[in-house]
Structure 1
Amino acid sequence: MTALVFPGQGSQHVGMGKDLFARFPELTAQADAVLGYSVEELCRTGGGGNLNRTQYAQPALFVVNALSYLAREPALSRPRYLAGHSLGEYNALFAAGCFDFATGVRLVHRRGALMGAAEGGGMLAVLGVPGERLRELIDGVDQGLVDMANFNSATQTVLSGPTDVLREVARALSRHDGVRSVPLKVSAAFHSRCMREAAEEFARFLRGFSFADPQVPVPANVTALPYAPGQVADLLARQIHQPVRWHQITRYLLDHGVESVTEVGPGRVLSGLWTAAAKEVAGGRRSSGGDRGSTAGGRGSRTDAGPVAPGDVSAETGRPFRAEDLGCAEFRRDHGLRYAYLAGAMFRGIASADLVIRLGQHGLMGFFGSGGLDLGQVEKELLRIQGALGADGRYGMNLLHSLDDPAYENAVVDLFLRHGVHTVEAAGFTQLTPAVVRFRYAGAERDAQGAPAARHRVLAKVSRPEVAGAFMAPAPAAIIDRLVGEGMLTVEEARIATELPVSEDICVEADSGGHTDGGAALTLLPAMMRHRDAAMGRHGYRKRLRVGAAGGVGAPETVAAAFVLGADFVLTGSVNQCSPEAGTSDAVKDLLAGLDVQDTAYAPAGDMFELGARVQVVRKSTMFAARGNKLYQLYRQYDGWESIDETTRRVVEDTYFKRPFARVWQETREYHLTNGRAAEIEKAERSPKHRMALAFRWYFARSVRWALEGDPAQRVNFQIQCGPAIGAFNHVVRGTALEHWHDRHVDLIAETLMNGAADVLNRRVARPAVR
């Protein structure tokens, strides 16, 4: 297989393209009309030095690259991949059919003008040290102001930042043997945070264009992964202020069977980088068990093992594993997804409408976190989602079991049915309820062949076999009879309910953020699959039940392992909380981006406080876990608030509540009375222990609110429900374009995990031959 690669700014030279302009007079005239000057004259003479100025160099280089591509012999085989370095990516996208020639000239003309107008800062090329090691060498010296701008090869990295700081960095690096640094002649700190304003302006400019998806895969500079549908405008804008990951792109191409590249345009810089990367990989393959280094998507060392057939992909098919093929094909078709991948709901709207919309627009699906919100808020956000994606679009809503308020659960189902919601994520259920059964079978009918068909899908998140078994079975007769008697289901819907399972998609939730039983995926998943197989045989279903994996999904290796175990899909949670779309505070996201895998702990669940249920929360930089456990200990030990010793009571009031217990109780009482829960207050007035429990619940509710609002005065009390998956993901993206949470858009998180999983399988199982 071959790939065509296009060079970027810096490859231009006087006289380039001299034989091309006469061959393509119409296109040359189109370029001149857009630019307002003769591009042929600029390239022939250098334009009095203008050819080396950003605003002129970029369009000139695009034109020469594009004409060089069009001048290729028609008989040459079509490349398997196209790629371009920085500006060259526009040529790769042009060759891939994303836009026409004139549009490409307009784009780079505007890009060059914006980048050329940027002032201040510079760039420093560093040779002789790996990028990950370079960050360690300059730590502190760079004053936190220098960004990695270009990852060109294993030992060639370009830094961007203030020129005076770069001079200090260069001096510091000169003290290390074998390390050399070269200042670049540029007018600004390209591909760094300094270019964010230019990137935002360019993003606004791009809104005036429509782009086709690439007809040939094009690994993006920003992600080092092929462009997904609908990503052209987004990634081109982000490319201006984010690193060029060229080394990772070359490794991606090598890992996906590319044997050679042809550089199209002036210069041979990219050809040299390719040769170096190919030798590096060949050396790694020859060495016994040698590490092949870190690449995009979190790939690690290469090991060899026997052939594996995860999901629908077999090593015998003669092609490498692809993210699009992992998992169950029927699952992808039923839900209209590119990947067998879902983003789960996080309560209080942390899994926000923005998160769900962005995923839906990129061929993926997420569930809105409706738990803990009032019905008005849920309806408002649901309508916003449907306005963006359509009532039948790719989205789902969370249906959280309300143990102490079944009326609310019923009201949520009323709302979903009224607005035509097709898919819910049923979470927190310890048993089936009339509400979830009603949602599943409302509107059920028989198809043209007389087979039972349900209009609604329930994805059940479960961690216990008995709960999974209930969702895998048809609805219990007692619940069906009750719903028919209340007019909630018709007789025909009730008959169908005896033939179809409550849920066709069972998501096995291992140790996760929020409510968790702390189960191990390696144990739970195979056990649940056997339950599934038994249910299939027992009930004689025509359609196979699907079993997915959730909890701890934070690295490509984890995703790959889930599919090797036989999972039909994966569902992520904690990793999405640290994204621009997540509905929590920047303070929480800053904290999450710095977590490691050991930085979580278990605390009592506020909504099931008296039962001793647990949630997994962030431990680092917050005292919530310790304080929550202390409150539960006090509840178990004492019969009421007044029974606790005075010293302890004062500590709780002063450091936990930040107000007297009496005021906490007053606020708690008003809340319950306002929300129609007078029975709870009556019970509390008879039982000091129950009064204490309700007051302690106040702290748990407030700790969530303080975190969502990012209240700096309450940082120590933040309750952030999160699992160790976020720590794993932080390791994956360290030193990549997704290191900062501002750039971790939820669709890119999915791309990183799914494409990374495919790469893991290609690297760690017997590599199939490429056809």
Structure 2
Amino acid sequence: MLTYIFPGQGSQFKGMGSNLFDTFRDFTAMADDVLGYSIKQLCTEDPHSQLNQTQFTQPALFVVNAFTYLNQIRETGKKPDFVAGHSLGEYNALFAAGVFDFETGLRLVKKRGELMALVTGGGMAAVVGLRKEQVAKMLEANGLDGIDVANHNTPSQIVISGRSAEIEKAISIFEAAAGVKMAALLKVSGAFHSRYMSEVQKEFERYLASFHFHPLSIPVISNVEARPYENEKLRATLAKQISSPVRWMDSVRYLFKQGEMQFEEIGPGRVLTGMVHKIMQEADSHEEVETTLESVSTASSQTAGDAKFVYPTVTAPSLGSSEFKKDYNLKYAYLAGGMYRGIASQEMVVKLAKSGLMGFLGTGGMSMQQVEENILYIQSQVSPGQAYGVNLVHNWKNPERDNSLIELLLQMNVQHLEAAAFLNVPSSLVRFRAKSLFRDASGEVIARNKIIAKVSRPEVAEAFLSPAPDLILQALVEEHLITRQEAELARELPMADDICVEADSAGHTDSGVAYTLMPAMLRLRDDMMAKYRYEKKVRIGAAGGIGTPEAALAAFMLGADFILTGSINQCTVEAGTSDKVKDLLQQMNVQDTDYAPAGDMFEMGSKVQVLRKGVFFPARANKLYEIYRRYNSLGDIDSSTSEQIQSKYFKRSFEQIYDELKVHYPNEIDKAEQNPKHKMAMIFKWYFGYSSRLALSGSAESTVDYQIHCGPALGAFNQWVKGTELENWRNRHVDEIGERLMTSTAELINRKFASLLLPAEGKILTPV
């Protein structure tokens, strides 16, 4: 069975719920109307330092808890068997049980917070290390009969409540007592959950009388009775909660006894999770707490006595941005990137789409006819709602190819574009973006055509985080490629819906490191969001180096809204490369890659990562670039080096290659005839196309010249799956890799969480 537990005051922090307010916009607007201020601003920015003031804290936590619950139900489709909340959190439990709707719950919490904030002259303190009976005896022995036990969190975590002077005296007494680990004053204005709240209870009970409550649809464990609420006593119990102790420990123990139970904390923080563990760990041997708590996943467990406690599990569907998954209709916040020349094949894209994932067709190096045929195949195989996309690698020397591809995508109604290797925003991308724009009934600008920009430099990210350049928009309007209305709408949106930060991958990454790039990009995104006041959040994803659960975990912990994999997918059944390449890739380890010049950006010296083990390509490619830098023409190269290149590298003469280039690139020949260095670059770049063709075809002509773009992530993946059925690439399917990586990441997070979440006593929930 499953119990959802909702935290109360003390779990709040600035930034909580930041990914939820845009998801539940109608409820957010309703909350603003009820409260008279922006709940999103309070929770995420707290500009007036009000978040820790009771009258503001309680509505804020109720809203964030409620949104977290609604999001959990939407993602999992699974309702709990029981619900419980710690003091204020009990209102969320009642909301989950259908006792009242969101607006009613918020009005109740708002009133409750306002009434409690008016109470002054009292105080509360946490005592850690003693049992409830020991605390009571010490209070009695020292004549502190004006103090009540307000909160019984765990066997050794007690909160007391009373007049300020008596609370201060009690703290000094407990601090000197043996066995006390901590005695600390809590930052509250009154003696909450004590006899001193009786007048507030009466006032609140009168307020409750005007509301209609529905019967419970799920059992709610009451703080007052540590037993399920009764329908006929809803108002009385809810009012009494204000002045009664919070019997959290007894509530958890009651749930233990109902059978096999999993606890999941719904809301900010994990304070209640630690308390549940502590209650289990400190269970008295004579108490019958023999229930084995089991999780639906394989997350690790901790034992206490005869019982086993498994921490609430993170699930694969819960990782990353929920809005990202909703926008693309995806099962997971997971993408498979487009690898050039159809290595990210039509079969790969279809396989992913049918599994609720999304991949991008690798169009780099493909003819327009091949691209069209591939898209037609994909569209014939996927069902409505299944996501797919196309990759566009910028051709900086031939922008007309980009324009032709965009024209084709618009004609074929392809709506998801992965834009790679761009240094700025060209008119082709602006046209693709603008042609999809319209304003819905609520006035929001909607983009059907979505761009995911892969970047590794902040200045490029800034270009995609900005609206389309005015000059380009004006030119497109004058050329009748977009309308004036589309141009106006384009000024309200960023160029990209999502930014994918690419580091340490096979692509154009500038040798970027994720640990430095991700924080910088996240801050840049936030700055640009504030600068342009975009309504919708631009998501930041991570790519490069992701081939194991540990790497995916690191990406999500760095703040990634989604992850994108590449190298690990080209060693699969669906990858559009040769079996010989896959055999080589299956044997590689993390140290078996090197950087080599990128064929499409050879003259600029841009680098890509390629396989080194078993091939000579990276050494030969780097030598060609050094020769190009050193000499101004082929005639300047010494005869020994020239002979080596032609006989060992190219296996044909410079003249033979040049004759071939005249046929395929007639527009560049005039420039080559006038500029010997450009002629040398053309001939040297021929080798990059030649080495790619060798690899893709699996040619036996010269295996050592295979050019295989690959990052070390595949080496890590090979080590991860070693000894399993996935060790052999013939058993690797791209959708199963995505599924296994995401589920294993969730399991790893749970294990890490369980090992790190010790029942520390430093965090105390304020019981209000």
TM-score, shorter chain, exceeding 0.5: yes
- 1:470 is matched with 463
Matched, 1:681 2:674: no
- 2:723 is matched with 735
Measure, in 1, the Cα distance between the counterparts of 2:385 and 2:333.
19
Q: Alignment partner for residue 738 of structure 2, among 750, 765, 771?
A: 750
Q: How does 1:372-771 map to 2 (within 5 A)?
A: 372-390=365-383, 393-673=386-666, 678=667, 680-766=668-754
SS in 1 for 2:719: helix
SS in 1 for 2:501: strand
* Matched-pair contact (CA < 8 Å) for 1:556–1:757: yes
SS in 1 for 2:735: helix
1:453 Cα deviation after fit:
1.1
Measure, in 1, the Cα distance between the counterparts of 2:685 and 2:650.
11
What do residues 628-673 of structure 1 show as CA deviations (whole Å, max 9, x unaligned)? Answer: 0111111111111111111111111111001111111111221102
What do residues 565-584 of structure 1 show as CA deviations (whole Å, max 9, x unaligned)? Answer: 11100000000000000000
- 1:322 is matched with 315
Letter paired with 1:565: L
What do residues 57-88 of structure 1 show as CA deviations (whole Å, max 9, x unaligned)? Answer: xxxxxxxxxxxxxxxxxxxxx999xxxxxxxx
1:713 Cα deviation after fit:
2.1
Measure, in 2, the Cα distance between the counterparts of 1:476 and 1:458.
16
Q: How does 1:273-292 map to 2 (within 5 A)?
A: none
Letter paired with 2:483: T
* Matched-pair contact (CA < 8 Å) for 1:303–1:764: no
1:371 Cα deviation after fit:
1.2
Measure, in 2, the Cα distance between the counterparts of 1:480 and 1:258.
61
Measure, in 2, the Cα distance between the counterparts of 1:576 and 1:79.
37
SS in 2 for 1:663: helix
1:762 Cα deviation after fit:
0.5
- 2:112 is matched with none
SS in 2 for 1:453: strand
Measure, in 1, the Cα distance between the counterparts of 2:707 and 2:300.
37
Residue ranges of structure 1 left out of the alignment (5+ in a row)? 3-77, 81-256, 261-281, 283-298, 305-316
Measure, in 1, the Cα distance between the counterparts of 2:410 and 2:80.
49
* Matched-pair contact (CA < 8 Å) for 1:352–1:581: yes
Letter paired with 1:417: L
Measure, in 2, the Cα distance between the counterparts of 1:751 and 1:385.
21
Matched, 1:363 2:356: yes
Letter paired with 1:725: A
1:733 Cα deviation after fit:
0.5
Measure, in 2, the Cα distance between the counterparts of 1:638 and 1:302.
65
Letter paired with 1:439: F
Relative distance call for 1:542 and 1:580 in structure 2 (3 A) is same
Letter paired with 1:694: M
1:443 Cα deviation after fit:
3.0
Letter paired with 1:513: A
Measure, in 1, the Cα distance between the counterparts of 2:389 and 2:643.
45
Give the TM-score normalised by structure 1.
Answer: 0.58
SS in 2 for 1:542: coil
Q: How does 1:143-182 map to 2 (within 5 A)?
A: none
What do residues 368-418 of structure 1 show as CA deviations (whole Å, max 9, x unaligned)? Answer: 001111100000000000000147631000122110111110110000000
* Matched-pair contact (CA < 8 Å) for 2:356–2:386: no
* Matched-pair contact (CA < 8 Å) for 1:704–1:720: yes
Give the TM-score normalised by structure 2.
Answer: 0.58
* Matched-pair contact (CA < 8 Å) for 1:617–1:720: yes
- 1:238 is matched with none
* Matched-pair contact (CA < 8 Å) for 1:342–1:366: yes
Measure, in 1, the Cα distance between the counterparts of 2:566 and 2:442.
39
- 2:127 is matched with none
SS in 2 for 1:712: coil
Q: How does 1:49-60 map to 2 (within 5 A)?
A: none
Across the two proteins, how many residue pairs are aligned to each other?
Answer: 465
Letter paired with 2:525: R
Measure, in 2, the Cα distance between the counterparts of 1:346 and 1:573.
7
* Matched-pair contact (CA < 8 Å) for 1:391–1:420: no
Relative distance call for 1:726 and 1:300 in structure 2 (3 A) is farther
What do residues 651-706 of structure 1 show as CA deviations (whole Å, max 9, x unaligned)? Answer: 11111001111111111221102xxxx2x110111121111110000001100010
Measure, in 2, the Cα distance between the counterparts of 1:621 and 1:523.
32
1:718 Cα deviation after fit:
0.2
- 1:147 is matched with none
Measure, in 1, the Cα distance between the counterparts of 2:520 and 2:260.
40
1:300 Cα deviation after fit:
12
* Matched-pair contact (CA < 8 Å) for 1:601–1:616: yes
SS in 1 for 2:542: strand
For the pair shown, which has the larger CA radius of gyration, 1 or 2? 2
- 1:99 is matched with none
Measure, in 1, the Cα distance between the counterparts of 2:299 and 2:600.
41
Letter paired with 2:728: H
Relative distance call for 1:592 and 1:358 in structure 2 (3 A) is same
SS in 1 for 2:417: strand
SS in 2 for 1:342: strand
1:344 Cα deviation after fit:
0.4
Kindly report structure 1 stretches of 4+ aligned residues shifted beyond 3 Å. 257-260, 299-304, 390-393, 766-769
Measure, in 1, the Cα distance between the counterparts of 2:549 and 2:301.
14
Measure, in 1, the Cα distance between the counterparts of 2:360 and 2:633.
40
SS in 2 for 1:376: helix
- 2:212 is matched with none
* Matched-pair contact (CA < 8 Å) for 1:548–1:570: yes
What do residues 733-759 of structure 1 show as CA deviations (whole Å, max 9, x unaligned)? Answer: 001121110111001111121111101
Measure, in 1, the Cα distance between the counterparts of 2:527 and 2:417.
25
1:514 Cα deviation after fit:
3.0
Relative distance call for 1:585 and 1:300 in structure 2 (3 A) is farther
1:467 Cα deviation after fit:
0.7
Measure, in 1, the Cα distance between the counterparts of 2:669 and 2:616.
29
* Matched-pair contact (CA < 8 Å) for 2:360–2:418: yes
SS in 2 for 1:636: helix
Letter paired with 2:722: R
Q: How does 1:12-51 map to 2 (within 5 A)?
A: none
Q: How does 1:110-121 map to 2 (within 5 A)?
A: none
Q: Alignment partner for residue 328 of structure 2, among 331, 335, 341?
A: 335
Letter paired with 2:692: V
Measure, in 2, the Cα distance between the counterparts of 1:612 and 1:638.
15
Relative distance call for 1:515 and 1:302 in structure 2 (3 A) is farther
Measure, in 2, the Cα distance between the counterparts of 1:471 and 1:514.
18
1:537 Cα deviation after fit:
0.6
Q: CA RMSD in A?
A: 2.6
Residue ranges of structure 2 left out of the alignment (5+ in a row)? 3-78, 82-258, 263-280, 282-297, 304-309, 759-768
What do residues 179-210 of structure 1 show as CA deviations (whole Å, max 9, x unaligned)? Answer: xxxxxxxxxxxxxxxxxxxxxxxxxxxxxxxx
Measure, in 2, the Cα distance between the counterparts of 1:621 and 1:418.
43
Letter paired with 2:488: R
